[in-house]
Amino acid sequence: MPQPIVSYRQRRINFIPTTLHKLATATEINDLYDDSPLEDQVWQACKSLQIDAERQARIKIKENTYFLDFAIYCVQGNINLETDGDRWHSDPKQIPLDNLRHNDLGTLGWRTLRFNTPQVQEQMGEYCIPTLVENIDRLGGLR
C-alpha cells in the first residue's frame, strides 16, 4: 500500500471483510467494509456530506457486545444508524435480539434510526439524509 489507510477515531481493528477493489481505493478505514450494498450506499452519502460516521462500531453494554452499522457521535448524544435489510430484520429469531439491542443502547442514551431497503434505495436524499441531519442537529452537531 503506497499510503496507510487511516482510522480517524483511532480504532484498533483486527479484521475487516473487504474486496481487492475497496482495498485499492480506500482512503480511510470505513471505506474497506464490505458488509452490504445498503450500508455502502449510506456510507457514500454520509461521506459525501462529511458526516463523520463509524462503520461497524463495537459497543459493549454489560455482558453484550453490539456492532452498529453506523455510529455517529454528537455533542449531546450518539446515533445508532441501522440499515435494515428486509430479510435479516424480518426473521422472527432476530426480532427479540434487535429489541434487546435497541433497549440496551437507549438506556445509555443512544438514539436509533432505522432505514429499510426501499428508503435507502429510493428515498436517500428526500428522507434518509434529512432525517439523519435533523437528528444530528438536535444533538448539538457532530463531535
pLDDT at 85: 72
Cell numbers linked to 2: 503506497
Q: Are 109 and 78 in contact (CB under 8 A)?
A: yes
pLDDT at 1: 65
pLDDT at 35: 86
Q: Look-up: residue for cell 429510493?
A: 122
Q: How many C-beta neighbours within 10 Å does residue 25 have?
A: 10
Cell numbers linked to 136: 444530528
pLDDT at 90: 66
Chain CA centroid to CA 51, Å:
11
pLDDT at 10: 74
pLDDT at 88: 57
pLDDT at 87: 63
**Is 36-138 a CATH 3.40.960.10 domain?**
yes
Cell numbers linked to 71: 455510529
Q: In the chain, where are the structural domains located?
A: 1-34, 36-138
Task: Give whole-number Cα distances, 98 to 73, 90, 114, 130, 132, in Å.
Answer: 21, 10, 11, 24, 20
Burial of 124 (0-12, 13-18, 19+ CB in 10 A): middle
pLDDT at 86: 63
Question: What 3-state DSSP class applies to 4?
Answer: coil
pLDDT at 7: 80
Q: Are 38 and 85 in contact (CB under 8 A)?
A: yes
Question: What 3-state DSSP class applies to 102?
Answer: helix
Low-confidence ranges of the chain (pLDDT < 70): 1, 86-90
